Structure 1
């Protein structure tokens, strides 16, 4: 479905905004970019600002009018402030827009249209749309950069897609370091006890200091490597350095 979501930028003035918008798209799984009469394109600044999304910029199509950019789309959503003079259906919340766009993108292209940096979309361009969407913002300062607006709506599209049961999206969880065995953790606890005792740290037997420290390390769940580093530290701090290796295995 995301492959059938098209981002359309109308008369973009700064080439860097094209690249930044492409980067925002790629991070959210969108790839189809159409440019309507950009002031300067191709442009090195667009490629530079795209960073790792230069392929999105390189594959962008340039057309002469909004109607040409969206002719094959079944839903066209203009990103703009609400225009009450136009009786178009309006999405007040981007997440609602995203769900509707994905539903329609199951079988045919859907377009999100963004206007000029300074003046947005004209009334005639919005008439080429089937819907409008606005991004809720501070009523005293609701100004968004073009690429920021693309990022927000692209994020909502990706969120709506990945939460679908049929998306197949899988979070890439970090690989967890190996935990020490109970025997290795026991060696550490005994080593800690010996160092605290030899150093004179345990001066109040009834203060439960040792139990509290052991509970702290248990909550921390150090990995085998981290436990080995702790034992190495204990060895280095031992009175008259006993030469202990600090290894856990």
Structure 2
């Protein structure tokens, strides 16, 4: 189960933070590290601060975008120090997030995403997530270092895994009951947008409407079977739309 839990660091500025994050991961049994456009990697400072977790640095994957890092994941949780205006589901407490993440990880990849040291994640990057989570801290000084944030959330995930009854593993979900990947959800939302435009429901680009519908389906958490049913409904509606004049 734990190998299905991925830590994604986006455009990390200080290479030492990558090493410290790898060390935090290893203490909690996490091994899948993905780096999105790090400023400098590999780097001796990253290896020094990994302090025994150099194997995670050696196996880390470097990719060009957050979308590439999470395309196969069924749940993507963005760690954010502050709430955004985007209507994504938000975990008020990290332990609730960890329980859900571990449950999904029993069958499919999931990801915890951490942004830049100073500015965090952009709104466009948050849109690639299915949920947000914040770490409660004192209002007087609620700023955590990147590796500290990784440590806190990795601990919550490890604790949720340890506290599972019995063997700590869920029985394998049937394929149709599993949560869809981000790629599958992306195809669905593209299909939905196309039908809305061709039907005349959207007469011009309307990002707010599309974002609200994406948030609706993120809250609903449809299974792969349910998403397939919705795709079938959209395909049927398309057949009854008047042909567009070229």
Q: TM-score range by the shorter chain?
A: 0.5 to 0.7
Q: Which runs of 5+ in 1 are unaligned?
A: 170-249
Q: CA RMSD in A?
A: 1.2
Inter-partner Cα distance in structure 2 for 1:164 and 1:49: 32
- Work out which structure has the larger RCO, using CA pairs closer than 8 Å and 6 or more positions apart in sequence: 2
Q: Give the alignment of 1:82-121 within 5 angstroms.
A: 82-121=82-121
- Give how far 1:46 is off: 0.6
Q: TM-score, normalised by structure 1?
A: 0.66
| Equivalent residue pairs, number | 169
Inter-partner Cα distance in structure 2 for 1:167 and 1:135: 29
Inter-partner Cα distance in structure 1 for 2:28 and 2:43: 23
Inter-partner Cα distance in structure 1 for 2:83 and 2:124: 12
Inter-partner Cα distance in structure 2 for 1:146 and 1:105: 23
Inter-partner Cα distance in structure 2 for 1:167 and 1:45: 39
Q: Give the alignment of 1:143-222 within 5 angstroms.
A: 143-167=143-167
Inter-partner Cα distance in structure 1 for 2:167 and 2:94: 19
Aligned to 1:76: 76
3-state SS of 1:76 partner: strand
Deviations 1:56-113 (A, max 9, x none): 1110000000000000000000000343411100001000000000111111100000
Deviates more, 1:97-106 or 1:80-89: 80-89
Q: Which runs of 5+ in 2 are unaligned?
A: 170-246
Task: Work out which of the two has the higher radius of gyration on C-alpha atoms and give 1 or 2.
Answer: 1
List 4+ stretches of structure 1 deviating above 2 A.
81-84, 166-169
3-state SS of 1:8 partner: strand
Q: TM-score, normalised by structure 2?
A: 0.67
- Give how far 1:168 is off: 5.6
Aligned to 1:213: none
Note if contact 2:161-2:168 (Cα within 8 Å) is conserved in structure 1.
no
